[in-house]
């Protein structure tokens, strides 16, 4: 069953997600306009800069349409900045007037840049529930999850910190699987979209 999984292409690492989704068997168009958002079955929100992405969601009149699609049950996957935007609550959201916006798709509290600045970026193998073997995780100015609601499933931790979650058809990781060549997280998301996960 072919599904159309769009990648929000306002800012961030769009190309890598498009390639990963196509390798996982999905059609993968870019999404920059409301009509493109309406034409996809699911959406990936890539890494990037969460406050810039928030500003561009407003500028392109995508913020409320995206919130409506998510509230209506559209599956979504967010990596790094995408995880931040999918959260119901964001700590250290940014400067007043330039804050990261909450799409309220996952009942969780996320702290922006929790692992530190760009120079504190790191990578390593982590156990990820539902995958056959550890995932190699790349963390770049990454967030972590400080609180999850009762219906949110924790899929992975880095040390004591929650770095991957699932809430129904919405998946989020603090790290960047699209940068590793390991397509299992994207394949899991495509399975979520098709209803087989």
Residue 140 marked ligand-binding: yes
pLDDT at 161 over 80: yes
Average pLDDT over residues 142-146: 93
CA distance 197 to 169: 9
| More confident of the two residues 55 and 12 | 55
pLDDT of residue 1: 59
Evaluate if residue 85 carries a pLDDT over 80: yes
What is the DSSP code (8-state) at residue 103? -
Q: What is the Cα–Cα distance from 188 to 184, expressed in whole angstroms? A: 6
- Please tell me whether 50 is known to bind a ligand: yes
Three-state DSSP state, 99:
coil
The lowest-confidence range among 37-46, 47-56, 111-120 is 111-120
Examine the pLDDT at 43 and tell me if it is beyond 90.
yes
pLDDT of residue 114: 77
Alpha carbons within 13 A on the beta-carbon side of 169? 20
48 among the known binding-site residues?
yes
Active site residues: 80, 176, 178
Contact 184, 131 (CB under 8 A): yes
pLDDT on residue 117: 67
Q: Is the pLDDT of residue 116 over 70?
A: no
Q: 84: annotated binding-site residue?
A: no
Mean pLDDT of 157-170: 96
To the nearest whole number, what is the mean pLDDT of the chain? 92
How much is the average pLDDT of 144-164?
Answer: 96
Confidence category of residue 120, pLDDT binned at 50, 70, 90: low
Whole-model pTM: value is 0.94
Percent of the chain whose predicted confidence (pLDDT) is above 70: 96
């Amino acid at each position: 069953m072919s599904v159309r999984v769009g990648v929000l292409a306002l800012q961030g690492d769009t190309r890598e997600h498009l390639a990963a989704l196509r390798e996982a068997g999905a059609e993968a168009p870019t999404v920059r306009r409301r009509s493109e958002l309406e034409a996809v079955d699911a959406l990936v929100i890539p890494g990037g800069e969460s406050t810039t992405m928030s500003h561009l969601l407003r500028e392109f009149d995508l913020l409320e349409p995206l919130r409506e699609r998510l509230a209506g049950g559209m599956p979504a996957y967010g990596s790094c900045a995408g995880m931040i935007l999918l959260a119901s609550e964001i700590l250290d959201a940014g400067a007043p007037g330039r804050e990261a916006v909450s799409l309220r798709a996952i009942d969780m509290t996320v702290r922006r840049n929790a692992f530190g600045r760009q120079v504190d970026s790191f990578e390593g193998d982590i156990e990820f529930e539902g995958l056959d073997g550890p995932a190699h995780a790349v963390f770049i100015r990454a967030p972590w999850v400080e609180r999850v609601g009762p219906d949110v499933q924790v899929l992975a931790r880095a040390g004591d910190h929650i770095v991957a979650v699932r809430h129904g058809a919405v998946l989020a990781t603090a790290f960047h699987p699209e940068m590793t060549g390991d397509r299992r997280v994207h394949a899991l998301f495509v399975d979520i979209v098709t209803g087989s996960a």
